[in-house]
């Protein structure tokens, strides 16, 4: 009782009557009840409600008048409602407590029929001879839903961990493994129980294993990061002793004041192996290429030297044949003279072949002089130089639009045009002959073309024409060539990094197309 505990000798209270003190104490209790956040309900030992505070009125939706004097069961849904009487009388007769002084979660029923989870703490008190019970209850719906959300998110996180393809390992700041997911078990070959509680070093081969403690300690004390938040490639050690390259990403987590590290590990053996294979092939390719270039160069050198050396004895043969024809013609009969003529003709042919070979090897040996080149000018010069032949054969040259300016070797590209236009002019037996030179520029490098309405080339010969000395016709029919022209053209095109190809229909005409830069 408040007045029993009041300090003795207090000048303000001493003279106060006991009645007044009691009133004050009651007022205080009422104030507490009125302002309490929790609902407070007092019942007697039959369950009849004696009083409710405003929080209880708010919580259950009844007015004070609607509940006082009625059984507290009205605030409970079935089956609690039915159990309550029995429960109360049980307690009153046997003294066995089920709620009193304990507190537990039960279900409340509002006036509008809705129910809600509530926490209930009951205490027993005696008011003189009357035994009363006070229930303090609180709606725990918000708490419940917060817990539910927490549980859901925990379940979600667990599901992610369980199903993650990557191995996920959590360690504390001493390196002790706290948890591993199934992928980690599969990757390292240990069951979870053999990893949890042990130092994560067990999953690393030397020298990483030895470095790890120092590294972790360093980070924890200095905050200097080496892996955290960065991710890098390290080496993992399986239970069976084998090692494998792995990508490791570590992040730091603070959990209830503790500092944890989560490592996400991915086995990159396959990727590494593929990378190594790729690297090997790239190197192989590079070596082969270098070899090819070398042997190409050697071949060009060889052709050049051989042609050079061949020319001198050939000149001797030619000179002697001419000498015989001039000074010994009278001593030979008709047949002998005929054979000598053939001999000089053949030496001239041989000379022309050797010149072609020299030219071919020169194209391979000399560096290109790449510069901005107005192809229109180059073509105009070529057409000028071929003017007599074109006019003689009655070939019309068509240039639908001026050719562009591009970077290339001006002189060599002139040779390309000369060869292609000459062929277009030669290999044509139509009464009205024409050759058209133009270009297409759709995206990639400019594609130039030389088209004619000539005899065409059968499909089965379309590859062969680019081989050196390959000719499809008897030498006299369309004028004598050595069959090296297209081979040289192809070599010039390829030295520019370009391509050349042919489209042709026999008796209709032929189109040669080429580029002077690599395809993008
Ligand atoms: P050449 O003209 O000296 O014989 P090329 O290498 O220039 O040598 O040509 C090889 C062969 O390809 C020619 O002999 C000819 O049979 C064929 N050819 C080249 N251009 C054409 C063309 N525009 N139309 C038809 N055939 C052609």
Query: Which residue CA neighbors atom 7 of ligand 1 most closely?
Result: 485
CB of 360 sitting under 6 A from ligand 1: no
Query: Which residue CA neighbors atom 23 of ligand 1 most closely?
Result: 424
Q: What is the pLDDT of residue 15?
A: 52
- pTM for the full predicted model: 0.55
Find the radius of gyration of the CA atoms of the chain: 53
CB of 493 sitting under 6 A from ligand 1: no
Distance 511 CA to ligand 1 centre (A): 12
CB of 415 sitting under 6 A from ligand 1: no
Distance 419 CA to ligand 1 centre (A): 9
Same domain membership, residue 509 and residue 377? yes
Domain total for the chain? 4
Are the beta carbons of 406 and 442 closer than 8 angstroms?
no
CB of 457 sitting under 6 A from ligand 1: yes
CB of 428 sitting under 6 A from ligand 1: no
Q: How many CA atoms lie within 13 A of 196 on its CB side?
A: 10
Q: What is the pLDDT of residue 516?
A: 96
Q: What is the pLDDT of residue 301?
A: 84
CB of 509 sitting under 6 A from ligand 1: no
Q: Does residue 3 belong to any structural domain of this protein? A: no
Q: What is the pLDDT of residue 409?
A: 96
Q: Does residue 520 belong to any structural domain of this protein? A: no
CB of 485 sitting under 6 A from ligand 1: yes
Distance 229 CA to ligand 1 centre (A): 67
Same domain membership, residue 495 and residue 371? yes
List, for the chain, all residue ranges whose pLDDT scores fall below the cut of 70.
1-16, 97-102, 225-231, 474-476, 479-480
CB of 450 sitting under 6 A from ligand 1: no
List of E strands, 142-292? 167-172, 177-180, 232-237, 243-255, 258-267
Q: DSSP class of residue 441?
A: -
Same domain membership, residue 467 and residue 376? yes
CB of 452 sitting under 6 A from ligand 1: yes
Q: Give the domain CATH number at 236.
A: 3.30.450.20
Domain final residue, candidates 246, 267, 288: 267
Query: Which residue of 486, 489, 492 sits with most ligand 1 atoms within 8 Å of its CB, as the best mutation to test the pocket?
Result: 486
CB of 67 sitting under 6 A from ligand 1: no
User: Which of 381, 434, 416, 432 shows the shortest CA–CA distance to 516?
Assistant: 416
Range of the domain at 48: 24-138
Distance 435 CA to ligand 1 centre (A): 14
Residue 455 alpha carbon, nearest atom of ligand 1:
25
Cβ within 8 Å of residue 485, ≥6 positions away: 419, 422, 423
| Straight-line distance from the first to the last Cα atom of the chain, in angstroms, rounded to the nearest whole number | 99
Q: Does residue 338 belong to any structural domain of this protein? A: yes
Query: Which residue CA neighbors atom 14 of ligand 1 most closely?
Result: 471
Query: Which residue CA neighbors atom 16 of ligand 1 most closely?
Result: 472
Residue 419 alpha carbon, nearest atom of ligand 1:
7
Same domain membership, residue 90 and residue 45? yes
Q: What is the pLDDT of residue 233?
A: 83
Same domain membership, residue 495 and residue 412? yes
Distance 293 CA to ligand 1 centre (A): 28
- H or E element, residue 188: helix 182-188
Distance 483 CA to ligand 1 centre (A): 7
Domain final residue, candidates 326, 356, 386: 356
Per DSSP, the residues of 217-232 read HHHHHH---SSTTT-E
Judge residue 183's burial from the number of C-beta atoms within 10 Å of its C-beta, 0-12 exposed, 13-18 middle, 19 or more buried.
buried
Query: Which residue CA neighbors atom 13 of ligand 1 most closely?
Result: 471
Same domain membership, residue 499 and residue 386? yes
List helix spans (H) across 366-448: 375-385, 387-393, 410-426
Order of strands, sheet of 49-52, starting from the edge strand that comes earlier in the sequence = 49-52, 39-44, 130-139, 115-127, 104-109
Residue 452 alpha carbon, nearest atom of ligand 1:
23
Q: Is 395 helix (H, G, I), strand (E, B) or coil?
A: strand
Same domain membership, residue 439 and residue 461? yes
Same domain membership, residue 278 and residue 262? no
Q: DSSP class of residue 400?
A: S
Same domain membership, residue 376 and residue 350? no
Q: What is the pLDDT of residue 180?
A: 94
Same domain membership, residue 405 and residue 338? no
Same domain membership, residue 128 and residue 203? no
Residue 424 alpha carbon, nearest atom of ligand 1:
23
Count CB neighbours of 134 within 10 A.
Answer: 16
Q: What is the pLDDT of residue 64?
A: 94
Residue 472 alpha carbon, nearest atom of ligand 1:
16
CB of 425 sitting under 6 A from ligand 1: no
List helix spans (H) across 328-409: 334-365, 375-385, 387-393
Rounded distance, CA 248 to CA 261, Å?
12
Same domain membership, residue 169 and residue 128? no
Q: What is the pLDDT of residue 366?
A: 83
Residue showing tokens 């493994």: 177
Are the beta carbons of 109 and 115 closer than 8 angstroms?
yes
Query: Which residue CA neighbors atom 19 of ligand 1 most closely?
Result: 423
Q: Does residue 497 belong to any structural domain of this protein? A: yes
Q: Does residue 153 belong to any structural domain of this protein? A: no
Rounded distance, CA 1 to CA 21, Å?
10
CB of 455 sitting under 6 A from ligand 1: yes
CB of 423 sitting under 6 A from ligand 1: yes
Judge residue 11's burial from the number of C-beta atoms within 10 Å of its C-beta, 0-12 exposed, 13-18 middle, 19 or more buried.
exposed
Domain final residue, candidates 356, 391, 406: 356
Q: Does residue 384 belong to any structural domain of this protein? A: yes
Count CB neighbours of 86 within 10 A.
Answer: 9
Q: What is the pLDDT of residue 16?
A: 62
Q: Does residue 126 belong to any structural domain of this protein? A: yes
Q: Does residue 13 belong to any structural domain of this protein? A: no
Residue 481 alpha carbon, nearest atom of ligand 1:
3
């Amino acid at each position: 009782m408040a007045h029993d505990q009041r300090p003795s000798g207090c000048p303000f209270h001493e003279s106060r009557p006991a009645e007044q003190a009691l009133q004050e104490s009651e007022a205080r209790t009422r104030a507490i009840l009125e302002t309490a956040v929790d609902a407070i309900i007092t019942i007697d030992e039959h369950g009849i409600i004696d009083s409710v505070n405003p929080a209880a009125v708010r919580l259950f939706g009844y007015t004070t008048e609607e509940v006082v004097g009625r059984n507290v069961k009205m605030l409970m849904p079935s089956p609690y409602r039915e159990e309550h009487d029995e429960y109360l009388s049980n307690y009153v007769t046997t003294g066995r407590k089920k709620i009193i002084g304990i507190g537990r979660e039960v279900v409340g029923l509002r006036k509008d029929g809705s129910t809600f989870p509530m926490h209930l703490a009951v205490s027993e008190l005696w008011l003189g001879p009357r035994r009363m019970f006070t229930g303090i209850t609180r709606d725990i719906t918000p708490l419940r839903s917060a817990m539910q959300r927490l549980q859901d998110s925990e379940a979600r996180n667990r599901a992610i961990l369980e199903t993650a393809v990557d191995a996920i390992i959590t360690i504390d700041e001493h390196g002790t493994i706290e948890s591993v997911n199934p992928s980690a078990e599969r990757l390292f070959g240990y069951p979870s129980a053999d990893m949890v509680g042990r130092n994560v070093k067990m999953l690393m081969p030397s020298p990483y294993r030895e470095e790890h403690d120092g590294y972790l300690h360093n980070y924890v004390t200095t905050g200097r990061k080496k892996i955290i938040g960065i991710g890098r490639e390290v080496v993992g050690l399986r239970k069976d002793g084998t090692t494998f390259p792995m990508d490791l990403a570590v992040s730091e987590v603070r959990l209830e004041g503790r500092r944890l590290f989560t490592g996400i590990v991915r086995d990159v053996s396959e990727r590494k192996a593929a990378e190594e294979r790729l690297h090997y092939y790239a190197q192989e390719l590079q070596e082969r290429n270098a070899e090819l270039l070398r042997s190409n160069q050697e071949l060009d050198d060889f052709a050049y030297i051989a042609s050079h050396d061949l020319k001198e004895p050939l000149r001797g043969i030619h000179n002697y044949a001419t000498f015989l024809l001039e000074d010994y013609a009278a001593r030979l009969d008709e047949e002998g003279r005929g054979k000598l003529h053939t001999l000089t003709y053949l030496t001239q042919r041989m000379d022309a072949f050797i010149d072609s070979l020299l030219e071919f090897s020169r194209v391979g040996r000399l560096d290109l002089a790449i510069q901005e080149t107005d192809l229109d000018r180059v073509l105009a010069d070529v057409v000028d130089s071929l003017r007599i032949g074109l006019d003689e054969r009655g070939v019309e040259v068509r240039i639908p639009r001026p050719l562009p300016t591009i970077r290339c070797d001006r002189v060599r590209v002139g040779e390309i045009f000369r060869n292609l236009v000459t062929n277009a002019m030669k290999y044509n037996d139509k009464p009205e002959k024409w050759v058209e030179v133009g270009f297409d520029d759709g995206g990639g490098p400019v594609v130039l073309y030389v088209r004619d309405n000539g005899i065409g080339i059968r499909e089965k010969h379309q590859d062969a024409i680019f081989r050196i000395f390959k000719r499809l016709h008897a030498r006299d029919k369309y004028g004598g060539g050595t069959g090296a022209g297209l081979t040289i053209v192809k070599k010039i095109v390829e030295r520019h990094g370009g391509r050349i190809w042919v489209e042709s229909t026999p008796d209709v005409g032929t189109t040669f197309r080429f580029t002077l830069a690599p395809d993008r």
